[in-house]
Amino acid sequence: MALKNIAILPNLVTLANAFCGLLALSKAIDAIPYIGEDAYIFYAKMESACLLVFLGMVFDAADGWVARLTRTSSEFGAMLDSFSDLLTFGVVPAMLAKVLIEHESAVVGYEGNPRMHFLAAAVFAIFALLRLCRFTLETEVRDDEHKSFSGLPSPAAAGAITSWIWMYLIMQAPALETAESTKTPVGVLMSWIQGFDWSPFLSWAPLMLAIWLPVLGFLMISRIRYSHGANILTQRSSPFSALVIVVGVCFLLFLAPVPVLFVVFNGFVIYGAVRGLSERSKSQTA
């Protein structure tokens, strides 16, 4: 492949994905020194890092669309896309999780082991690398549409981890749920239940996050079939109903982005795993 055939526009969009990943990692590193009285700054910087991961997903979805629109798909673009995905959806979520676990352990009274935390993060990141390598080798460069995936897609795994982290952040710092000095609907709801003691749940959060990392890593390298999100909608409903559902989800995302992202991504992971294992057991007993 000659380098002169490299398309500029779709690859710039792909690089925007990588830039979001690098900036998210930088935000997480910048957040580390803020503890004690400055803990809110830590939560705010980590929230920015989570937002950047999801922004990277927008660019990841857009680069393929731009490549098809301009008819400029290439092996270079496919390779660049995999490397960018590894950074934004493999390394960054794992490091965000490790930073949060290490920072919050003293806050919630969780006595963990830094080496085990690193191992959990490393399993997620390395298995994301293996999953992306396999995906690149098994997928045609000009495949316009993927009806299903072998193993959990890395953006979905990143979304599950990142939304989990973000959900924890707003529970620890409800002040994050403000926009233009006004509480968001989620912020209003949290103020209504302000008297509820979340500490028993939050104290388990670092441990559960450390467990969720390798679980998602193994799902990425598994052969469990995960349906494309668009296929799940079209298979279960008519095109009009699918459109109504998408619009409804967009409205909910506007009102309560963090809980909706948490439910959508973690629900997709769990639903796909249960359905895939169920289909596998049925085929073995048939």
Q: Classify burial at 69, counting beta carbons within 10 Å of its beta carbon; exposed 0-12, middle 13-18, buried 19 or more.
A: exposed
What is the pLDDT at residue 142? 44
Length, in residues, of the chain: 286
Rounded to a whole number, what is the distance in angstroms from the first to the last CA of the chain?
47
Comparing CA positions, the residue from 89, 82, 65 lying closest to residue 10 is 65
In a domain, 254, yes or no: yes
Of 174, 192, 196, 200, the C-alpha closest to 258 is 174
What's the rounded Cα separation, in Å, for the pair 202 and 105? 10
* Total count of domains within the chain: 1
- Token pair, residue 241, equals 């109903």
pLDDT digits (tens, 9 = 90+) for 199-249: 777 788 889 999 999 999 999 999 888 877 656 655 666 677 778 888 888
Strand 225-227 with 178-179, pairing:
unpaired
Enclosing domain of residue 182: 6-285
In a domain, 189, yes or no: yes
Confirm whether 39 is domain-assigned: yes
Q: What is the mean pLDDT, run by run of 10 residues, along the chain of 286 residues? A: 64 94 96 81 94 95 82 79 94 96 82 90 96 81 59 94 94 79 72 67 87 96 81 63 82 88 94 84 69
Look at residue 229 in the predicted model and tell me its pLDDT: 64
Q: Is the pTM of this model over 0.85?
A: yes
Question: Would 11 be classed as within a structural domain?
Answer: yes
Residue 1 lies in a domain: no
Q: How confident is the model at residue 1, as a pLDDT?
A: 47
Does some domain include residue 30? yes
* Nearby residues of 166 by Cβ (< 8 Å), 6 or more positions away: 47, 50, 258, 261, 262
Pairing of strands 148-150, 178-179: unpaired
List Cβ neighbours of 110 (8 Å cut-off, separation of 6 or more): 101, 104, 203, 204, 205, 206, 207
What are the tokens at 98? Answer: 């490790």
